């Protein structure tokens, strides 16, 4: 499978522009071809009524991870926007 450019740098640069990830306290743990691992700390500001992390916060992070998992197959400067995510 052909890959394009410096995948690690592309992911990290794009991730750094995501204000939502900063708000959630998400950090990149590792980046590999088609494999991105994020870590999100528990944040009381992002809980639901029973004190658990809200699924909306978790799904937001999953959406970013899924998108970054795919860009290693796309030419540099490609703009992408995932349109479907099933959890």
Q: Which pLDDT value is given to residue 7?
A: 83
> By residue range, what is the domain housing residue 41?
7-73
- Give the pLDDT confidence of 32-87 residue by residue, as tens digits: 888 899 999 999 999 999 999 999 999 999 999 888 888 777 787 777 777 788 87
Domain membership flag for residue 80: no
Torsion of CA 27, 28, 29, 30, to 10 degrees: 180
Domain membership flag for residue 65: yes
- The answer to whether the predicted template modeling score (pTM) of the entire model surpasses 0.85 is no
Domain membership flag for residue 87: no
Count how many domains the chain has.
1
Q: How far apart are CA 13 and CA 84, in angstroms?
A: 23
Domain membership flag for residue 2: no
- CATH number of the domain that 42 lies in? 3.10.129.10
């Amino acid at each position: 499978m052909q890959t394009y450019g410096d995948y690690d740098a592309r992911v990290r640069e794009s991730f750094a522009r995501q204000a939502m990830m900063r708000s959630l306290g998400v950090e990149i743990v590792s980046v590999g071809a088609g494999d991105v691992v994020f870590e999100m700390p528990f944040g009381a500001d992002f809980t639901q009524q029973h004190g658990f992390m809200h699924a909306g916060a978790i799904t937001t992070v999953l959406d970013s991870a899924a998108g970054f998992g795919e860009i290693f197959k796309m030419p540099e400067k490609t703009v992408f926007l995932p349109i479907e995510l099933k959890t």
